[in-house]
C-alpha cells in the first residue's frame, strides 16, 4: 500500500509527465489536445500554477478568451508572484479589446519581471490603447447628437479619373454586368474606384436602416433558400460558393449569417461584393450581423487596417456605421430562427423582444443583443459561461 504522501508524490510526477505531453501537443498546434492534457495534469495536481497558465495559453490560441482569463486568474490565485499568470490574462483581455484590464495585468508583469521585453511591448500597446480610449470617452457625444458620417459624403461629386479601367456603375443602378466585372477585378487584386465603393455602401445603408432587427423571410413551397456561415474575408471561398450554388438572385436567394470580415486578407472585397448584390436585388440576399461586424473586433482582427490601406479613414467610419444597421436575426417561414450567435442566458425570450431591440449601436457587453451575436453551443446540457468571454455557452434542449 502507498501512503497519502506517496500518492501525492506519484500524482505530481504523473502530472508533470502529462504536462510535457501537453507541451508537445501545443508545439504541434494541437491546441484542443493540449487543453485536454493540461486538464488531466490539473486533475492530478491542481496547485501547480504553470498548468493553469499553460492551459490559458492554449485557450487563447483557440480564441477562447473567457476560459483563458479564468485559467490565468486561477494561476495568479495559486502564485501571486507568477508573472506568466498576469501575462496570459493580460493577453486574453487584450484580444477581447478590454484594454484597461489588460493594462493592469501588464503593469503587474512589469513589476515582477522588469526586463521582460515582450511585457514591455505589450504594456506600451495597452497604454496607447487606453490613452486613446480615454480621449474618445472625453470627447464622446450622445448617440442622438452624433452626426452620421454617411450624411457628409456626396459620392456623385467624386470624379473618376480617365485612366481608371475598372468596373463602373452607370447612374444609380447596380447591374449583374457591373458585379461580374467588379468580381473579376477583385480576383486580379484590382481596386474598385472609391466613388463606386461609396455608392454601394451608402445604398446598402439606406436599405438596412429601413429593415427591422428581426427580419421575416418567406420561402414558397418547392423553392430553395441558402444560408451561409462565416466568410471572414475569404474572397475566393465566396467565389466558390457562387460557382457551386449560383449567384444570388430572386430565384436563388441567400442569407449570409454574419462575420463577413476580419482574419482573411480580402474582407473589403467580400463585403463590397455582398453589399453590391444587395443593391442589385434586395430580395436576392439577406445579411445578418455577426460579432465581427463591430469596431472592437475590426480593430483587433484586421478589417480596420485593411480598409484604411485600401481605401481611407472615412471608409473605416462608414463601415462601422453601416454594420450597426445590420439586422440581428431572421425567421424563415415562421419556423426557422437564424442567428449568428445563439440563445439566451434567461428563459422566455420572445421574438417580439428581439424585434424591439434598438440595434443601431456597437454591441453591448451583456443583454439580448450581445447574446444574439456571441453565444456559442456547448456539449453539456444547460447554460455555462462563454469560453470566449462574451455572452453564454448554450445547448439546444
The catalytic residue positions are: 292
Question: CA 232, CA 261: separation in Å to the nearest integer?
Answer: 4
Please answer whether residues 192 and 164 qualify as being in contact, where contact means their C-beta atoms are separated by less than 8 angstroms. Answer: no
For residue 305, with 0-12 CB atoms within 10 Å meaning exposed, 13-18 middle and 19 or more buried, which class applies? middle
Please answer whether residues 333 and 298 qualify as being in contact, where contact means their C-beta atoms are separated by less than 8 angstroms. Answer: no
Please answer whether residues 294 and 300 qualify as being in contact, where contact means their C-beta atoms are separated by less than 8 angstroms. Answer: no
Please answer whether residues 38 and 58 qualify as being in contact, where contact means their C-beta atoms are separated by less than 8 angstroms. Answer: yes
Please answer whether residues 371 and 390 qualify as being in contact, where contact means their C-beta atoms are separated by less than 8 angstroms. Answer: no
Q: Which three cell numbers stand for residue 134?
A: 480615454
Q: Which three cell numbers stand for residue 301?
A: 482582427
Largest CA distance in the chain: 90
Instruction: Give the SS3 label for residue 255.
Output: strand
Look at the alpha carbons of 102, 108, 114, 115 in this order and tell me if their dihedral is positive or negative: negative
Report DSSP letters for 310-364, one per residue. Answer: HS-HHHHHHHHHHHTTS-SEEEETTTEEEESS---SSS---HHHHHT---SSSPP
Please answer whether residues 235 and 186 qualify as being in contact, where contact means their C-beta atoms are separated by less than 8 angstroms. Answer: yes
Please answer whether residues 100 and 81 qualify as being in contact, where contact means their C-beta atoms are separated by less than 8 angstroms. Answer: no
Amino acid at each position: 500500500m502507498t501512503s497519502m504522501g506517496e500518492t501525492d508524490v506519484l500524482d505530481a510526477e504523473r502530472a508533470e509527465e502529462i504536462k510535457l505531453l501537453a507541451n508537445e501537443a501545443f508545439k504541434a498546434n494541437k491546441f484542443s489536445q493540449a487543453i485536454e492534457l493540461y486538464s488531466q495534469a490539473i486533475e492530478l495536481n491542481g496547485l501547480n500554477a504553470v498548468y493553469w497558465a499553460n492551459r490559458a495559453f492554449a485557450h487563447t490560441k483557440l480564441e477562447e478568451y473567457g476560459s483563458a482569463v479564468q485559467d490565468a486568474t486561477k494561476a495568479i490565485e495559486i502564485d501571486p508572484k507568477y508573472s506568466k499568470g498576469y501575462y496570459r490574462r493580460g493577453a486574453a483581455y487584450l484580444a477581447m479589446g478590454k484594454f484597461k484590464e489588460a493594462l493592469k495585468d501588464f503593469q503587474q508583469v512589469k513589476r515582477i519581471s522588469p526586463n521582460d521585453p515582450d511585457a514591455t511591448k505589450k504594456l506600451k500597446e495597452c497604454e496607447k490603447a487606453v490613452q486613446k480610449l480615454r480621449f474618445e470617452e472625453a470627447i464622446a457625444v450622445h448617440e442622438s447628437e452624433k452626426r452620421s458620417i454617411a450624411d457628409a459624403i456626396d459620392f456623385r461629386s467624386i470624379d473618376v479619373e480617365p485612366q481608371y479601367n475598372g468596373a463602373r456603375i452607370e447612374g444609380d443602378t447596380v447591374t449583374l454586368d457591373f458585379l461580374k466585372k467588379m468580381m473579376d477585378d477583385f480576383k486580379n487584386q484590382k481596386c474598385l474606384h472609391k466613388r463606386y465603393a461609396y455608392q454601394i455602401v451608402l445604398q446598402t445603408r439606406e436599405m438596412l436602416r429601413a429593415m427591422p432587427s428581426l427580419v421575416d423571410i418567406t420561402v414558397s413551397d418547392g423553392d430553395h433558400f441558402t444560408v451561409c456561415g462565416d466568410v471572414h474575408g475569404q474572397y475566393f471561398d465566396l467565389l466558390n460558393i457562387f460557382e457551386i450554388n449560383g449567384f444570388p438572385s430572386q430565384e436563388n436567394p441567400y442569407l449570409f449569417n454574419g462575420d463577413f470580415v476580419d482574419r482573411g486578407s480580402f474582407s473589403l472585397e467580400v463585403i463590397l461584393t455582398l453589399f453590391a448584390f444587395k443593391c442589385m436585388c434586395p430580395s436576392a440576399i439577406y445579411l445578418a450581423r455577426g460579432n465581427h461586424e463591430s469596431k472592437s473586433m475590426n480593430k483587433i482582427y484586421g478589417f480596420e487596417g485593411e480598409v484604411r490601406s485600401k481605401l481611407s479613414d472615412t471608409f473605416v467610419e462608414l463601415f462601422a456605421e453601416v454594420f450597426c444597421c445590420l439586422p440581428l436575426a431572421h425567421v424563415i417561414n415562421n419556423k426557422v430562427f437564424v442567428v449568428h450567435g445563439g440563445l439566451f442566458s434567461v428563459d422566455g425570450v420572445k421574438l417580439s423582444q428581439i424585434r424591439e431591440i434598438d440595434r443601431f449601436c456597437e454591441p453591448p457587453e451583456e443583454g439580448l443583443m450581445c447574446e444574439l451575436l456571441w453565444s456559442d453551443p456547448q456539449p453539456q446540457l444547460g447554460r455555462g459561461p462563454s469560453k470566449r468571454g462574451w455572452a453564454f455557452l448554450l445547448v439546444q434542449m
